[in-house]
């Protein structure tokens, strides 16, 4: 049997040259996952530029496939609560 583990939820974060500047968002999410004891259940996955640089920062919550653009910590926090903590 393999020990390979996959999380129930993932948060894809664009780490291209534009979105990657918004380190505060990744930092916030990392801490929120840790503070809620979700390290084994929610994973942050850095992805390459998605060609939406004008709308940086870009994020996508899975499995709900909820994309965020031009987002802020405030909005990310709201969506994290809804899609990660409540669903």
Task: Using only the alpha carbons of the chain, give its radius of gyration.
Answer: 13
User: Distance between CA 61 and CA 58 in Å, rounded?
Assistant: 10
Task: Identify which of residues 22 and 33 has a Cβ nearer to ligand FES in the complex.
Answer: 22
Alpha-helical (H) ranges within 9-72 are 23-35
Query: CB 41 → ligand FES: shortest distance, Å?
Result: 25
Minimal distance in Å, beta carbon 29 to ligand FES? Answer: 16
13 part of the interface to ligand FES, by CB under 6 A = no
Residues near ligand FES (CB under 6 A) are 14, 16-19, 49-53, 56, 58
């Amino acid at each position: 049997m393999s020990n390979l583990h996959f999380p129930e939820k993932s948060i894809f974060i664009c780490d291209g040259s534009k979105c990657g500047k918004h380190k505060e968002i990744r930092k916030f999410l990392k801490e929120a996952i840790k503070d809620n004891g979700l390290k084994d259940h929610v994973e942050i996955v850095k992805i390459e530029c998605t060609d939406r640089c004008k709308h940086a920062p870009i994020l996508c919550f899975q499995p709900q496939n909820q994309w965020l653009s031009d987002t802020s910590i405030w909005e990310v926090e709201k969506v994290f609560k809804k899609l990660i903590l409540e669903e």
